[in-house]
Structure 1
Amino acid sequence: MTEKQSPWRNPWVLGWIGLLVVFVMANFVMIYLAIDRNPGLVVDDYYERGQDYEKNMLKRQARNPGWKMKIKAPEFVDVAVPARFSIKIVDKQGYPVSPDSVTFYAYRPANVDLDFSVPMQVIDSGVYEAEISFPNLGVWDILVSAKQGDDEYNQSHRISAGVK
C-alpha cells in the first residue's frame, strides 16, 4: 500500500511557492523605494514653462545670431578633482563673440540636489574657462549658457566623472 503524500511537502511545489514569494516581495521593495526616494526631477511650474517655451520658440529662432559654440572638456574627469573646461564662441564668419555672461551648468540626471553652476571667466576674445570639480561619481549633463541681453544661447555636453 502506498500512502498518499501532501503536495505541500513536495520540494518542487515548495520551490515554486518560494520563488513567487521572493518575486512579490522584491516588487514591493522596489515600489516602496521608488515612492520613498523620488529625486523630484520635475519642476513645480512645468505647465507654465512649457507654454512659455512654445510661445517664445519662434521669436528665439528669428533672433538666433548663428553663433558656433565648442566646448573643450578634459578626456578624464575625476571626482572631487578640479578640471578645466573651456568654450570658444564665434559668429557666422568665425570672429570671436563676447556675450554679456557665460555660465557653466552641471546637471546630475539621477539627483537634482547635486546640480550646480559656475560663472566662466574670459581668457581670450571669445574664449571662456572655468575650474570645475564634480562632487559625485557618474554621468553629468553639462550646459554652457551664453547670455546676450535677454537672449540665451546654449551648448550641451555629457561626461562621466570618475569613470575611465
Structure 2
Amino acid sequence: MRARPWYREPWVWGLFAGPATVVAAGFVTLWLAVKSDDGLVVDDYYQQGLAVHQVLERERAALRRGVTAEVRWAEGGRRVVVQLAVKEGAPPAVLVLKVIHPTRAGHDQTLRLRAEGGGVFRGALSPLAPGRWVLNLEDEGGTWRLTGDLWYPERPTVQLAPRPASS
C-alpha cells in the first residue's frame, strides 16, 4: 500500500484551518479599523480640558441672568423653534444652537437662529436620526450657555435651564 501525498490527508487541512481562520479574521479586523472612523478622539484634548472652566463660567452667567429656553422640533424634525426667556437684560438678536450626536461627530449641526420678536427664534436643519442628542444653546458672543438632552422623536420638546454649579 502506497502512502498518499500530505495534501490529500484530511487531518492536515484540519490543522491548517485554525491558523488560516485567524489570519483571515485579522485582515477583516484591519480592514474595518482602516475603513471606519468613529470620530471619538480629538487632537486637542488638553486644550478642551483647559476650556472646562470657561464652560462652567458661561453656565453660571446664564444662571445669573435667569436665561431659560424651550426648544421644539416641528415639521418632522426639519424645523426648530426656540422660546427664550431672559429675566435680566435684553434677549440677544442671534442664538447659536448646536445639535450634537453623542458618538457620531459627522451628524452634528450648528444653527444660527435670528430673533422674530417675543423671544421666539426659528431655524431649519437636516432631519435628525432617532435617538439621544445633546443640545447647546448660547448667545452669539458666547457669554452664556444652556445645555440639555433631546430624545428624538420620543420627546421633541426640551426645557433648557442653567443648572446650579456644584462646589
- TM-score strictly above 0.5: yes
Partner of 2:83: 88
- CA distance 1:19–1:148, change in 2 (3 Å): same
Partner of 1:49: 48
TM-score by length of 2: 0.59
* 1:129 aligned onto 2:98: no
Query: Alignment RMSD, CA only?
Result: 3.9
Matching residue's letter, 2:85? V
Contact 1:104 1:142 in 2 (8 A): no
Compare 107-116 and 122-131 and name the one that shifted more.
107-116
TM-score by length of 1: 0.60
Matching residue's letter, 2:57? K
- CA distance 1:58–1:33, change in 2 (3 Å): closer
Tell me, in whole angstroms, the C-alpha distance in 2 between the residues paired with 1:88 and 1:109.
Answer: 24
- CA distance 1:18–1:53, change in 2 (3 Å): same
Partner of 2:71: 71
Deviations 1:55-93 (A, max 9, x none): x3553454333422221123844xxxxx2211122246x
Matching residue's letter, 2:139? K
Partner of 1:9: 10
Contact 2:39 2:105 in 1 (8 A): yes
Tell me, in whole angstroms, the C-alpha distance in 1 between the residues paired with 2:129 and 2:26.
Answer: 27
Contact 1:69 1:155 in 2 (8 A): no
Matching residue's letter, 1:38? D
In the TM superposition, residue 37 of structure 1 has moved relative to its aligned partner by 2.9
- CA distance 1:62–1:140, change in 2 (3 Å): closer
The equivalent position to 2:95 in structure 1, one of 74, 95, 102, is 102
Contact 1:109 1:139 in 2 (8 A): no
Tell me, in whole angstroms, the C-alpha distance in 2 between the residues paired with 1:58 and 1:113.
Answer: 26
In the TM superposition, residue 27 of structure 1 has moved relative to its aligned partner by 4.4
Moved >6 Å (runs of 4+): none
Gap runs ≥5 in structure 2: 1-5, 154-167
Percent identity over the alignment is 20
- CA distance 1:40–1:70, change in 2 (3 Å): same
- CA distance 1:21–1:76, change in 2 (3 Å): farther
Gap runs ≥5 in structure 1: 1-5, 78-82
